[in-house]
Structure 1
Amino acid sequence: MAGADREEVVHPGMKVAEVLARWPHLLEVLVEASPAFQKLKNPLLRRTMPALVTVAQAARIGGLEPEELVARLNRALGKEGAPPGGGGGAESLLGTPPPPWLAAPVGFHLDVRPILEAGGEPFSRILAAAREVKPGERLVLEVLFEPIPLYRVLAKQGFLAWCEKVGERHYRAHFYRQGMGGEEGLAKAPPLTEADWEEVQAEVTIEENLEPPLPMMRVLEALASLKPGEKLLVHHVRRPVHLLARLEEEGHAYALKDLGPGRVKLLIRKGG
């Protein structure tokens, strides 16, 4: 009976396709949860992307915590809360006392709300902005929701975080770069050389008609099947900026070869 009960709720490991097949009305809940899901209203994309993506993965694509999205979907089904096993995450910083470093000068101020409202992914823009911030300075982000996943990502680069709610669907996140100690502690992947292109353990081809986030998901799934140190060759149709940011975050080495319009080769060596 416990197994049957579990099937009556959404859980993080379910594919989005299964969720929408069983409860079509949850499409509107997804779209309301994040502008990134607006594309699911496209019937063609709805037949492809959700088949590969779990609810937890979709939450991260939409800039949400998996537990938050699962709970929202289950509330729409008349079920309160999220099923166990959703996984932990960084905690909210809303309501915590302002840190003393809030008086530090602003090194970069970035408003990503227009990108989010258009259904875009600002992750690469944020990482690029973070690289411009010097020790002792702050990165200030204007966002539509508290960017909890960013706390972990930027902590690896030596940033402390704090967030405040400014208004309805308007949050201001502050990231203070403590110094270079945090970055020096990270293991930097050695760069790839020309010899690395000669032998790979797996290959993936990205077709022109694949809509985001399918290309990224296909590459990450192939990468997950490799052992640390093994290499994946990706035949892509464009420079995958969001994927590159993700590879940097996870510590994978990569190299690109631009072969002309619509032809890019990406070599990835799995880190870890």
Structure 2
Amino acid sequence: MEHTGQTVELDVRPYLRKKVEPFKVIMDTVKALNKNDIFVLHATFKPTPLFGLMKTKGYAHKVEKIESDHWVITFIHKNSGHELTDIEEYQAVQQSPDTPECSADSPPSQIYELDNRGLEPPQPMIRTLKKLEDASLGDEVIIHNDRVPVFLIEELNTLGYDYDVEEQPDGSARIHIHKK
């Protein structure tokens, strides 16, 4: 297919070498992408936790190890028409089943609780989005975080989830997320 987007490159190796968390920079870059853009990320390690998060946003990826401390990850949106050499990953994203409709035969709702306190970003967000991906319609995921998860809230709004935030006296937050 004809490529109508652009290639957006982001090198977070300088951040990582200075022990600065680049998650916000990465997510800001992803938010600015158009569906036809190709996102190329340079990192000092294989950012496996990012793959699950990007998959929830509709992206497939290809990973290349250039040197021991230089990894290049190429992300494309599944609706862009581009192809990755790692076609199995691309097809896995394309073949992810759409959320099924509720039926009268649906099992009773489940409640899942995740205690994300003490985890370094982006682990709380990745754990929560993974649990939501695995949950069935009508299920509720309750998370307990060290603070109100601003970036997760943005993502829940983008993905269309209903949620309630309960700020706790100790500064932590419990969020009830409903999969509808």
TM-score by length of 1: 0.36
Structure with greater strand share of residues: 2
Structure with greater helix share of residues: 1
Structure possessing the higher radius of gyration over alpha carbons: 1
Q: Could you say which structure has the greater relative contact order, defined with CA pairs below 8 angstroms and 6 or more residues apart?
A: 2
